[in-house]
Structure 1
Amino acid sequence: MVNSKTPYSPGIQPERPLIEPISFKPHHPAATGFRPRLKRQSVLTLLLLAVCGCLAWFLFSAKAVYIKTTPEHADIDVSGILQLKLADRLLLLRGIYELQISAAGYSPLVTLLTVDEPRNQAFSYELARLPGHLRVATPGVEGAEIFIDGIARGTTPALIRDIPYGEHQLLIRSERYIPYEAILMVEGLDREQAQAISLAQAWAEVNFASRPAGADVFVDEELLGQTPLRAGILKGQHNVRLKLNGYKPWQDHLTIVPSQTLDLTDIALEPADAVVYLVSNPPSANTTVDGEYLGLTPLELAITPGQTSTIKLYKQGYLAASRKITAASGDQLRMDVRLEPELVQVLFNISPPDAELFVDGSPSGAGPVTLSLPAREHQIVVRRAGYLDYNTRITPPSGVTQQLNIQLKTEAQAKLEQIKPVITTHAGQTLKLFRPDSFSMGASRREPGRRPNESLRNVAFKRAFYLGLHEVTNEQYRLMNPTYTSGELEGVSLNGDQLPVARVTWEQAAQYCNWLSRQESLPHFYLEEGGSITGIDPQSTGYRLPTEAEWEWAARAGNDHQLLKFPWGQAMPPTEKSGNFADQTAANLLGKILNNYNDGYLASAPVGSFPIGNNGLYDMGGNVAEWVNDYYGIMPGGNTVETDPLGPINGEFRVIKGSSWAHGTITELRLSYRDYGDKQRDDAGFRIARYLE
């Protein structure tokens, strides 16, 4: 072995010790074999270390989970073994657990709890309260109906189970009691609540007593019994009637207040009236008893017993009747009264005299005739072949002879009387009725200013027609076309509402006539196809443009004087303010003007600004020239008479009649002047016409 006392120096080899041999004796195990054993303390230590290691790992890996419940005292059960409760928290590993929460009075909750990564996690759960139970009683009243939230739940006394927690509307209802209503808070938790409800009575005691006793008592026509009587009557307004044979009914109107007793114990019944059933011939006679009006016959009258009453009857056309009657109490009598007619003389003067007269549907002779008629209303009819029936109603006055003059009319006469001399259109134009006969239109070759197209023509009219007093205005035209504008000329507006519409084509004027016809449900005069005028319907009574012959007749004829040459008379120059022509104010705008004439307007003027002209028409000369219905053509003269001429059946241009604000020569100012065109013009407009029939 090494001598510890021998010093050791580096680089010097120590002396090697002497190793002495010893004897070796091997150990032989017992025959039972060798089993190595650890000490018990070592095993326990290892186990403790393992447990501590697992616990340390669990504490390090687990999450602190806080579970809040409502109610707070609920029992919480989380599935799984590895969990540790520390104070109000559970230590759980990440994962999904089954969570069960329960509490007395609440519905248990079973759900999944997911524990995630965060170290601290919180969850909140609220248990639903179990329904509650309500025991309802109405002391002193059984069988009252119970309603919870409007649903019938039985009658008292009753235990109503399984009412959800919360507020509920409680209604208790019983006949003859005031309904009880309240908001009830049900606490749930499978607990029973008790409600004892005292219902307030909805009636009052009423005591009835009459002299004499034994009268039937009716409340709202329901028989309750006989006097003396004590009855419970519901609150509110009631009609009460007592009835006893031989006595007048007693009645009153009562207001019942709950619980307030009412005494009606001194009711004195009066002896019954006598009853008279009154019948008149004829019926429906006005009736009075002792001056009091009681109605129309037939009637049931109550007559005061033991005294004389006066009954009077009145009916128009009959003499008044009077009767006196005395009856005993309880008598039931019938009275029949025949009314005598009150006759009045009526003289009928009828023309023609052989016409037949009917009075109230009965033949009564032919006129003239005098009849005695009752002084009441009568239906009068007079008839004769070839004439319209005459119908009227008359009431001859009492004591006076009446004279009735009746003139029958033929259908033509009646129709003529119904024709309106003036009409107003939907757009506000006024048209006047004309019934012309015949005249010669055009001008003689010797007339100064005449043009070759103004040949003399003989014209006859068979159809009456209406013609507009004024030219159509911008305002009236815009009723059909709201965006239309007549524009302006050299800074002068042609577009004012009351100015005549201008710059319209003949077709636009014709389409306006058709539009106006539609507004009044009249047939179209102009035939349209695809938005274009394709022809005319001469039999139509719809609105149209006047024919050339109508226009010239209206402008020149129709009076006792000779045909007018100019709007103001027979010769040039125009009289002052006689129309809107080319005057001095338009010298810079127009070529030919009227010297020494000033109408005050550079271009068009509001319609009707100048004095009324021939036949009550305005602006037949001046203002704007006017489109008429006819195609333009050179018409041959001669002795042939044209009836209601409509012009050529076709052509390229349309006739324009009358002078305008742009005209100032003798040729243009004449009323026989004929112009034509197919385009719009600054100075061309139109007026409307229509046939009567």
Structure 2
Amino acid sequence: MRISHLVLVLLIAAALCVIPAAANIGGDTATIYVTSSPSGADVYDSGTYEGTTPCYITVYTTGTPISHDITVSKNGYYDYHQYVGDVTSGEYITVSAYLTPVVQNGYLDISSSPSGANAYVDGNYKGTTPLTVSVDSGSHSVRLEKPGYNTFYGTYSVSNGQTTYVSATLGSAVSYGYINVQSSPSGANIYVDGNYYDTTPAVITVTSGTSHNVKLVLSGYNVYTQTVSVGAGSTAYMNVNMVSSSDAYLRITSTPAGAAVYVDGSYMGNTAYSSGSSVSYLNVGPLSAGTHSIMLKKDGYNTYTSSVTLSPNEVRTLSITLVQSSPTPSGYAALSMDSTPSGAEVYVDNVFRGYTPLYLSDISEGRHTLLLQLSGYNDWTEYVNFAAGQTVTMDVPLTTAVVPTPSQSSFPILAFAGVIGLAAALVLRRTN
């Protein structure tokens, strides 16, 4: 009898264990549809991997309610989170994730012996050593100057999130000599031991007792190189006839001047200062025919980026106006808009905001309609999604509008015929 009671108790306990499990069984479902910009991001539902965007998540709703917390993750972008909570049967929920890129930068830790040297990165003064400078990832030139010591030059590569250390020992000042450089035609850029100095004709001061590599670069001509040795206090002379080439070149000026110029990611020098009557250009080349990326950077101004396609023997002149940067208010995005040609009217959601080139720092988060209008050119419009803290940079090539040729109206002929007919009728009337 006791055994029978024990069996009954065990059966009841087993039944109680089965009931909660059965409560989770059912066929009713809901759907969570997840997209991202850019697509191809990993999707997690409360920590469980569900696939890559665009992604459909099927949720069973018959059982115990479960809260859903969606995370969208992609390398190079900040994670996107959206809490969905409980869902009901048949519900269709859309999660649209606009991913914000992670800023790609690193650091240069610059020191010198002795310390207190003036430090320049890509031609821009940054302070005195020792110091740490935040820079974009990529290649950067470093120059250290201190009175009574030789100038230090170096090029360093910086990786995203990493620190590159620059430790320079400055040698005491030594005896100098001179190199008198002339070219035909003149205006060639002079590089001595890989560092830019001036344009021809010019006299360059160099350390004596060592050999120096002198390079002349002029748009439309082959690069000329020569090794020169100079004695203390003496002058070596170079008079070079430049030879025409099939390479392409760029002539770049900026407003304001002093911007660091990068072509295909490599630092090329800084734009020169121009007067009102004379424009000075930074000559870049030789470059191969084809498409090249252009970037200009200057402290206090938005970074300018564009691309140019060069033909063989082409010398392209670029005059670039930099837009002064301003802090983007919290919760807003920024828009850096330019057009070719410039001077186009800019409308955001059909509201006039100014003329290209234009920088706006008060764009609300979300989707906006951009419109460019310029007389003689076709209107350009596009829908753009903005994320808080993001700066969207656009350089729009406008297309020339085609004006239809008006057809000649028959109205003048018909009107003239009517006048003749009326005159004839009056004559007949008088004769009758």
TM-score, normalised to structure 1, is 0.18
Higher-Rg member (1/2): 1
Comparing both chains, which one has the higher relative contact order based on Cα–Cα distances under 8 Å and sequence gaps of 6 or more?
Answer: 2
Name whichever structure is richer in strand by fraction.
Answer: 2
| TM-score, reference length from structure 2 | 0.27
